[in-house]
Amino acid sequence: MKPITERQFGWLFRRGERLAFLPGDESAPGAQAGARAVYLRYAYRLRGSEIPIFPGVLVDDWGQERRDLGLYRWVYEEGQRFPRTEIFGYERDGSETQVFLRALETFMTLPCFVYEKRSLPVDAGRQLYAVFLPDEHHQGEPARVAVPAEAGWPLRQAAVRWLRANPDTLGDAGWEILD
């Protein structure tokens, strides 16, 4: 079993302890050139706690398995009808776990952790603070905006801030790119 992982392309930025992601296109020319693969993992929280559980596989009441990003949308849309559904996955320290869906906070935003390689263990991830929406006309500090309609699942449900930012001025706002 492996934790469900989403590959995205872009750049990671850091300001103090906070980590942000600027999406990009791996094959784009010009300013977007050089985007690299980063890997995102989304966790559910155990009910009544902040303990993250990273799904690897979901087994519903009929024994059907889900092992891909579609798991998150299924839980959001169908999960309340199937509280005995089981999720097999990982705790933050990387240890394997098994929980019933009813034991998880399924309507809260999902903590999102970023990894520089798909093969890294769960405990090597760093929590993502923000996603930048590039806007070359934006001036000043990155500004909070609503989740864009085109954001895919489960990133649109992630516990991150969405910030409009000019990629060329992120350094002026104290954000440094991670190599």
Who's near 163: CB < 8 A, 6+ residues apart? 20, 130, 131, 132, 133, 142, 143, 144, 145
What is the reported pTM? 0.93
List pLDDT tens digits, range 156-179: 999 999 999 999 999 999 999 997
User: pLDDT tens digits for 34-44?
Assistant: 799 999 999 99
7-34: pLDDT as tens digits: 999 999 999 999 999 999 765 544 456 7
Measured distance CA(112)–CA(166) in Å, rounded: 23
Dist. CA 82–CA 71, nearest whole Å: 13
